[in-house]
Amino acid sequence: MANEDKQFVTEITPQDEDFSRWYIDVIKKADLMDYSPVRGCIVFKPDGYEIWEHIQEELDRRFKETGHRNAYFPLFIPESFFQKEKEHVEGFNPELPWVTEAGGEKLEERLAIRPTSETMIGHMYEKWIQSYRDLPVLINQWANVVRWEKRTLPFLRTSEFLWQEGHTAHENEQDAREETMRMLEIYRDFVENYLAIPVIVGQKTPSEKFAGAVDTYSIEAMMKDGRAVQAGTSHYLGTNFANAFDIQYLNRDNVREYVHTTSWGVSTRLIGSLIMVHGDDRGLALPPKVAPKQVMIIPIGPPKTRDAVVGRADELFAELKQAGVRVGIDDRGDIRPGWKFNEYEMRGVPVRLEIGPRDMENGVCVLVSRISGEKKVVSQDNLVEEVKAMLEQVHNEMFERAKAFREEHFYSVDTLEEMKASMDEKRGFTLAGWCGSEACESHVKEETGATSRNIPFEPEVTKTTCLVCGEAAKHTVVFARAY
């Protein structure tokens, strides 16, 4: 490796040295974001934003396929709305920014910037829903929301972030619970099969559920430092918001009843998650399905064959683009191929396509996987299929690696002592029995810094005693330190 390349690579702090610095180095260097002059708010630069656009396209397609439609509700929420649901106001009040003046006048009632829209949407649903014929209401919103966080981290926890929030209303508990689970499963499938991130699906403990929900379900992903990210949540809200906003309907027996509501959301923290799950000391590694560039073409060889090789590379570029592959080409003559290889590896481009003079003669080119480094010589005649197969392969490699990593860092413990040792000595998730008391749960947090992530639907083992009090375990819970 030439010096210039080596130096380049070492500009990124190694993950094992300082994972947080690695993360910041990578997202800055790969040009995904920049800090803004407003505390805790970032700028999504084009390469960062485009990841979000690909996430949006696919989720939006899946939401519509399951009968949901998009709508848009106001950014501002009157202060009185928050007072209507007790848990909700307690959960969100500390994080709200307040508009107190507008148009040169002091407002009579302060307006919060929405941290989530259950209250505003509850108010509107009360007007829209009269009878069972109006149900279900299946609405989603793509929007910015604001939570004034004390400690922020680009993508993963920012004061303003982008998300989607689904809000549905149903005739009864069963329909609403089915919806809650349907959306949770859409999230699981999307995050696993689109972002190549394996997740643990389960139910939040009461102390960790959404403020105002009856039950909250989540998918939890393991970052490469062993910490957890809650990658998506789906809430069964029961009749809590229906009560608060008086959303009643005339049922099939002509009796007035409260609707049952759900809400569910994922946000731009998915971008942070996929970086922390897949990235390595060489930089980003982007899942092919959301990568702004899926393939980067790099012509190689001596100056005398350069024009011919670049000419052929341009043709391959056009062919791949035509086939819907997001492809780039770097044909700059004054920059060495080795530097380019490192550059696009750092930027996380899933597949590199190399073509040189001998490849041209043989009618082939070389595809290189960002994950395994595997080099595959493929025929130019069959390029589109070969590239698509390689992208699929890279996706699978990413998922399998992430899954293997999670399995290596998944522990099972029986006592608090074991949990402490596990958290201090190893990175990862820990499965333990829990009696169901909030006291034991918060004791774990105080002693280890780990919170309950969820009660997995399919735990690998079932625990019989609580790791804190030793009483009979009600649940087997995943604990982890979390972002």
What residues line the site for its own copies (CB under 8 A)? 34, 36-38, 41-46, 49-50, 52-53, 69-78, 81, 94-104, 111, 113, 120, 123-124, 127-128, 139, 143-144, 146, 148-150, 160, 162
Q: Which has the closest alpha carbon to 388: 358, 354, 353?
A: 353
Determine the Cα–Cα distance for residues 435 and 447; give it in Å rounded to an integer: 17
Closest approach of Cβ 467 to its own copies, in Å?
34
Cβ nearer to its own copies, comparing 48 with 226: 48
Cβ nearer to its own copies, comparing 155 with 194: 155
3-state SS, residue 164: strand
- DSSP single-letter state for residue 14: P
Q: Which has the closest alpha carbon to 221: 361, 402, 79, 441?
A: 402
Q: Count of alpha carbons within 13 Å of 67, Cβ hemisphere only?
A: 9
Distance in Å from the first CA to the final CA of the chain: 36
Cβ nearer to its own copies, comparing 159 with 262: 159
Q: Which has the closest alpha carbon to 184: 163, 173, 205, 199?
A: 199
Closest approach of Cβ 110 to its own copies, in Å?
8
Q: What are the structure tokens assigned to 447, written together? A: 């002693």
Kindly report the number of other CB atoms within 10 A of residue 197's CB atom.
27
Cα angle: 394, vertex 396, 397; to 5 degrees: 65
3-state SS, residue 63: helix
Cβ nearer to its own copies, comparing 139 with 297: 139
Cβ nearer to its own copies, comparing 244 with 309: 244
69-70 and 137-146 as β-strands: parallel, antiparallel, unpaired?
parallel
Closest approach of Cβ 99 to its own copies, in Å?
5
Cα angle: 427, vertex 431, 433; to 5 degrees: 145
Closest approach of Cβ 131 to its own copies, in Å?
15
Cβ nearer to its own copies, comparing 46 with 311: 46
Q: What are the structure tokens assigned to 436, written together? A: 């169901």
Cβ nearer to its own copies, comparing 124 with 419: 124
Cβ nearer to its own copies, comparing 111 with 383: 111
Q: What is the full DSSP assignment across 187-241?
A: HHHHHHHTS----EEEE--GGGS-TT-SEEEEEEEE-TTS-EEEEEEEEEEETHH
What residue type is assigned to position 31 of the chain? Answer: D
Closest approach of Cβ 147 to its own copies, in Å?
9
What residue type is assigned to position 84 of the chain? Answer: K
Chain Cα centroid distance, residue 214: 24
Closest approach of Cβ 119 to its own copies, in Å?
10
Cβ nearer to its own copies, comparing 113 with 478: 113
Closest approach of Cβ 403 to its own copies, in Å?
31
CA quadruple 455, 458, 462, 464: dihedral, nearest 10: 30
Q: Are 292 and 326 in contact (CB under 8 A)?
A: yes
Closest approach of Cβ 113 to its own copies, in Å?
7
Which DSSP helix (H) or strand (E) runs through 307? Answer: helix 303-322
Closest approach of Cβ 133 to its own copies, in Å?
11
Cβ nearer to its own copies, comparing 96 with 316: 96
Closest approach of Cβ 195 to its own copies, in Å?
19
